[in-house]
Chains A and B, each alone.
Chain A
Amino acid sequence: MKRREFTRALAATTAATALAPFGIVRAQSQKLKVGVLLPRSGVQGLIGQSCQKGADLAPALLKEMYGVDIELMNADTETNVDTARTRAERLIQEGAHVLTGPFDSGAAGAIAQVCEQRGVPFVINIAAAPQITEQGYKFTFRNFPTAIDLTRNGLALIGDLFRATNTAPRSAVFMHVNDTFGQSMAKGIGALLPRLDFLPFRVVETIAYDPAARDLTVEVSKAKATGADFLMLVCRLNDAIILRREMVKQRWNPMGIIGPGNPGMYENQFYRTLGKLSEYCISNVPWYNPKAELTRRIEKAFDKRNPKDKLMFHALNVGYTFEALMIAADAFKRARATDAKTLSEAIRQTDIRNRMMLGGPIKFNAKGQVEGNASACIQNLNMRPQVVLPAAAAEAKPVFPVPDYRKA
């Protein structure tokens, strides 16, 4: 090599070395455009708006955590599968690098097809139908337990509760709403319960009721007449309020009321309407870890943004929506690119241990499903939902059997 050629080569190498970090900086400073599809109107409007609160917190917090810029592209699915599909197409057309959402399994199925066809990663926040991740999709990822896992976790926590309180109720009366959700839960429980031989109780009677019922006198008296030790209840909000009042009216004091994986008894309106009567009701649902550092940060940001609201009343919705965006941000940071293939591969390699929701690390299996998402045993104590199990995340000790309502 001649001296002049050597000098040129050296200059080129020096320049390349000097500019390399700028290249990285340039790639990192790109914005990740995240399409957030949620049902902010229609039947699921309230839940969609609750999830949106989690998404709204993400850009600022994720910038602090990962140093990446996130731009939210919000779209309302209107609780409609057709709209979910066209909105997903629209967001991709407008340049979304990754999609998240949409709280609903039907909409998730429709969006997943669009994402597969367009080659855009899709991180599901909440949708429980197991089939979504059984379709062989390459770009669809889900950080949420399947319906079977939800029910299994909820039932297993009942056993944990009995062990933690040294109790062994022998019988339960199972009451459930007879809508789609209630029927689905009842079917799941019916299939799982006989296989969970560590649970000491048997269901002596199953009573289905209309979620829109204005009066549950007959159903409650029928349940009381069974003499069951405790009430296993799959409810929604309004019927839970009516049912609890009716129990007091009929002076029925079972060992407790346990929801194996349903909403209703930890919602703000439940406390506001029932006051002290809301105390001690138990719900086994996916929840955030109140002791996690990330939860504290999110709660602080949530309080600042929503001064009249409380994170605990949006726990599942905010938590899983935030985590979906966190997965995207984490992958973006590692991939240093926004192209679908690289980003999808980075999402597949996700291993997040510092998380908000209860459960193991966020790691996707070959099907794009996170395994090991856990539920918590939530008990209404001092007019708010408190984690009582698992012990590592507990804010208080479980109370079971519960005291008479007059002593509450």
Chain B
Amino acid sequence: MNRRALALGVLLLGVMLLLPAFANSYVLSVATLILFLAYTGQAWNVMMGFAGQLSLGHSLYVGVGAYAAAGLFFHFGIGPWAGIWLSIALCVAFGAAIGFLAFRFGISGVYFALLTIAFAEFTRIGFDHLDWTGGPGGLFIKVAQRDQIDLANFRGPPAMYYYAMLVLTAGALALCAALLRSRAGYYWQAIRENEEAAQALGINTFRWKMLAVLLSSAMTAVSGVFFAFYYNNLFPEQIFNISRSIEIILGPIIGGVGTLFGPILGAAVLTILADAITEVLAALGWEIPGIKQVFYGVVLLVVIMFLPHGIWPTLARRLGIGK
């Protein structure tokens, strides 16, 4: 990382740290949403961006992670700090099952993507029939007083959730940066570029692809726990929905798949611009339902046509900093 990149990173982190001091609740909620999407996008990026394994069912890990921690809290009063380990363990088990099935039997590309969707779907149907988690009627976590910070139960004002998400996103960024420079990172990139060639060079592709899936699922499980305690209600139909998976992957695709800062930039661009366009149209007196989805489609089209590697690589080049 060059000096300019470091300076920009520190400046951005400084602004993010100070944001709650001058931002209103709305801005803070949007910023929290951006960080949530950035973190989850970063987790997905480990699997697709680094190791080249396309997952279209990442909502599975968000949902399982959320339900595991929320279920423990709801039924036994066990706080999220303990619940998070169950969430991670369950998501890793799901990831291991998907990875083993796919990599052991040579399922790759679009077929692997279909497998991930299938797992997310049948888990959704399973949760619809699981009384312990409320079934289709949903699981509601008791909402407590929000003025004071109760870290043990992860309860507090919006700024607490914002900072929690900021820490997670910064941590994920640091972890991914370290991973990319590690042996695992190089092996993943080799597998992503040409799996047969990587195998010919002696890389155990099964092992390293499994590691990417397990790490990605564990990271996503943490975002699920956050989701459960931020929104306090979970419905299988909403949390396991394929639209949530698409929402997770849009940020990295727009920002730049396989880059470190792409998922963060993509999440910010999509969320801020989509909100801005809604505001501008409202100010003009035009109420157009669904304009955000149209906008998402147009941005995706433009990025694919003119910036096939995402916004970040081009921007980084212009700013004179590395990927």
Do these two chains interact? yes
The segment from A103-111, A156-164, A247-255, A396-404 that touches chain B is A103-111
Evaluate contact between A117 and B157: CB separation under 8 angstroms: yes
Evaluate contact between B292 and A41: CB separation under 8 angstroms: yes
B136 part of interface (Cβ distance < 8 Å): yes
- A residues 139-185 in Cβ contact with B at 8 Å: 147, 180-181, 183-184
Q: A89-B26, A105-B233, A109-B232 are in contact. Are A135 and B142 (CB under 8 A)?
A: yes
Contact with A along B290-306 (1 / 0, CB 8 A): 11110000000000000
B167 part of interface (Cβ distance < 8 Å): no
- Taking CB atoms, residues of chain B closer than 8 Å to A187 are 135-136
- A residues 314-332 in Cβ contact with B at 8 Å: none
The answer, among A86, A118, A129, A181, for a CB contact under 8 Å with B275, is A86
The answer, among A45, A92, A129, for a CB contact under 8 Å with B137, is A129
Interface size of A by CB at 8 A reads 43
Evaluate contact between A110 and B138: CB separation under 8 angstroms: no
A112 vs B233: C-alpha distance in the bound complex, in angstroms? 11
The answer, among B136, B143, B238, B292, for a CB contact under 8 Å with A184, is B136
**A79 CB to nearest chain B CB (Å):** 9
B25 to chain A: closest residue by CB: A89
- Taking CB atoms, residues of chain B closer than 8 Å to A85 are 29, 33, 231
A106 vs B243: C-alpha distance in the bound complex, in angstroms? 15
B195 part of interface (Cβ distance < 8 Å): no
- Taking CB atoms, residues of chain A closer than 8 Å to B29 are 85-86, 89, 114
Evaluate contact between A109 and B289: CB separation under 8 angstroms: no
- A residues 20-41 in Cβ contact with B at 8 Å: 40-41
Evaluate contact between B137 and A49: CB separation under 8 angstroms: no
B124 to chain A: closest residue by CB: A180
- Taking CB atoms, residues of chain A closer than 8 Å to B233 are 81, 105-106, 109-110, 129, 131
- Taking CB atoms, residues of chain B closer than 8 Å to A229 are none
A291 part of interface (Cβ distance < 8 Å): no
Instruction: List 14 additional A-B contacts (Cβ < 8 Å) besides A114-B25, A116-B146, A134-B140.
Output: A45-B290, A89-B29, A105-B235, A109-B138, A109-B232, A113-B232, A114-B29, A117-B157, A131-B140, A136-B142, A137-B143, A180-B128, A180-B136, A180-B237
Contact surface of A with B, Cβ cutoff 8 Å: 40-42, 45, 48-49, 74, 76, 78, 80-83, 85-86, 89-90, 92-93, 105-106, 109-110, 112-114, 116-118, 129-132, 134-137, 147, 180-181, 183-184, 187
Contact surface of B with A, Cβ cutoff 8 Å: 24-26, 29-30, 33, 36, 128-129, 135-138, 140, 142-143, 146, 157-158, 231-233, 235-238, 243, 275, 278, 287, 289-293
Lowest 5 CB-CB distances: which A-B pairs, in order?
Answer: A41-B290, A40-B289, A109-B233, A131-B140, A184-B136
Please list 26 pairs of residues, one from A and one from B, whose beta carbons are closer than 8 Å in the complex, sorted by A's number.
A41-B291, A41-B293, A42-B290, A78-B293, A81-B233, A81-B238, A85-B29, A86-B275, A92-B26, A110-B232, A113-B146, A113-B232, A117-B25, A129-B138, A129-B140, A129-B233, A130-B137, A136-B142, A180-B128, A180-B236, A181-B136, A183-B129, A183-B135, A184-B137, A187-B135, A187-B136
